[in-house]
């Protein structure tokens, strides 16, 4: 394993934050060893840091997995280790003539977080393709396997963000795949995403900053009377209204605050254009949600995890 004190924490927002200790492990034995050694310390397991906003330095141990292999269990299931980049796996599956995950192409981040976050794009969510999730219990160090149902997946949500938060480390994920040519879909999705989303490594961001809100039918109808062009999608959870539309209507597209900006090509994204501090991003996000609440009476909530 690798240990580094007072280490810069990797994060796609490009926020300058340090961890008291950063540890990368390369086996389950090493992970168990670390958990035993640092029991009682504040511990955070991260992936690529592509959905995190470090609001301050982290006074504890940041863990990262260096395990990044995948193997077929049979013709319909692949088990991938937590530290593998999701898109690297999808690229490989596509090359090998397997489909199922291609709509998730180019979503930043690693396999472990794909289950925690229930990542999704273009109508597909990780929950649609995850069969089961292997974890290590942080207290007992024992393995526990969660079925898809036990993960309690929801919109960008899972039990790992709530009742299981901090209690289990996802070590590998079993995905369902099937033979099929996904090349064209993958290429189209990559082209679309590259056209509207900031590229990791070029522009700092954490992707969509806010989740799309769901409102009761009556509220949606009242808003539609006032804004007939408002996009809206009825669902069992209520009527989904794209947060990007709400933010754009409030005039935020391209606006800046300190070094942070509402991305002109996709107003759901906040970017770090000019050495933004975490506070710049927090202030901009707060100003955006305040104006959406004032204009539409809708609360929008961050998808990004504030640490």
> Is residue 81 at the binding interface for ligand FAD, with CB under 6 A as the rule?
no
Identify which of residues 203 and 224 has a Cβ nearer to ligand FAD in the complex. 203
d(CA 296, CA 220): 10
Minimum distance from residue 285 beta carbon to ligand FAD (Å): 15
Q: 55 Cβ partners below 8 Å, 6+ apart?
A: 278, 279, 282, 306, 307
Q: How far is CA 31 from CA 34, 86, 99, 196, 244, in A?
A: 5, 21, 32, 38, 40
Segment interacting with ligand FAD, rule: CB under 6 A, options 68-76, 115-123, 139-147, 246-254: 115-123
Determine the interface stretch with ligand FAD among 26-34, 48-56, 249-257, 280-288 (rule: CB under 6 A): 48-56
* Smallest gap from residue 81 Cβ to ligand FAD (A): 9
HSE (side-chain half, CA atoms, 13 Å) at 178: 3
Q: Is there binding between residue 305 and ligand FAD (CB under 6 A)?
A: yes
- By CB under 6 A, the residues from 243 to 302 that bind ligand FAD are none
Q: Which is nearer to ligand FAD, 59 or 221 (CB)?
A: 59
**200 binding ligand FAD? (CB under 6 A):** yes
Alpha carbon distance 267, 261 (integer Å): 9
Q: How far is the CB of 217 from ligand FAD (least distance, A)?
A: 26
Q: Are 300 and 289 in contact (CB under 8 A)?
A: yes
Which is closer to ligand FAD, CB of 91 or CB of 224? Answer: 91
β-strands 305-306, 52-53 pairing: parallel
Pairing of strands 130-137, 168-176: antiparallel
Residue 144 is a catalytic residue: no
CA distances from 94 to 72, 111, 169 (A): 14, 16, 28
Tell me whether residue 94 or residue 208 sits nearer to ligand FAD (CB atom): 208
Interaction with ligand FAD in 139-198: which residues (CB under 6 A)? 156, 160, 169-170, 197-198
Distance CA 94, CA 219 (A): 43
212 contacts ligand FAD (rule: CB under 6 A) = no
User: Does residue 69 have an active-site annotation?
Assistant: no
By the rule CB under 6 A, 109 interacts with ligand FAD:
yes
Strand order in the sheet with 18-25: 2-8, 18-25, 58-65, 43-46
Catalytic residue among 50, 105, 208, 289: 208
Q: Which of 85, 105, 132, 156 is catalytic?
A: 156
Catalytic residues: 156, 208, 303
Q: Which residues contact ligand FAD (rule: CB under 6 A)?
A: 12, 44-52, 82, 107-110, 112-114, 116-117, 119-121, 156, 160, 169-170, 197-198, 200, 205-207, 305
């Amino acid at each position: 394993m690798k240990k580094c004190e007072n280490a810069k924490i990797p994060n796609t927002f490009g926020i300058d934050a340090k961890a008291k200790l950063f540890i990368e492990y390369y086996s389950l034995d090493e992970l168990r060893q670390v958990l035993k050694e640092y029991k009682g310390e504040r511990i955070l397991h991260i992936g690529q840091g592509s959905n995190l906003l470090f609001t301050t330095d982290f006074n504890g141990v940041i863990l990262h997995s260096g395990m990044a292999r995948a193997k077929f269990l049979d013709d319909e299931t692949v088990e991938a280790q937590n530290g593998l980049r999701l898109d690297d796996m999808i690229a490989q599956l596509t090359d090998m003539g397997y489909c199922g995950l291609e709509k998730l192409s180019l979503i930043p981040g690693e396999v472990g977080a794909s289950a925690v976050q229930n990542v999704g794009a273009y109508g597909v969510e990780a929950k649609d393709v995850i069969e089961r999730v292997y974890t290590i219990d942080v207290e007992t160090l024992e393995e526990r396997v969660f079925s898809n149902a036990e993960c309690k997946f929801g919109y960008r949500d899972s039990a790992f963000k709530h009742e299981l938060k901090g209690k289990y480390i996802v070590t590998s994920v079993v995905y369902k795949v099937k033979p099929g040519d996904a090349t064209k879909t993958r290429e189209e999705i990559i082209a679309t995403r590259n056209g509207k989303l900031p590229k990791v490594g070029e522009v700092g961001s954490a992707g969509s900053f806010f989740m799309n809100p769901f409102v009761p039918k009556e509220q949606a109808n009242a808003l539609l009377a006032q804004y007939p062009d408002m996009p809206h999608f009825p669902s069992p959870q209520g009527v989904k209204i794209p947060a990007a539309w709400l933010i754009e209507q409030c005039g935020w597209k391209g606006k800046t605050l300190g070094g942070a900006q509402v991305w002109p090509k996709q107003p759901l994204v906040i970017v770090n254009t000019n050495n933004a501090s975490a506070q710049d991003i927090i202030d901009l996000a707060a100003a955006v949600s305040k104006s959406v609440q004032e204009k539409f009476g809708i609360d929008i909530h961050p998808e990004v995890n504030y640490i």
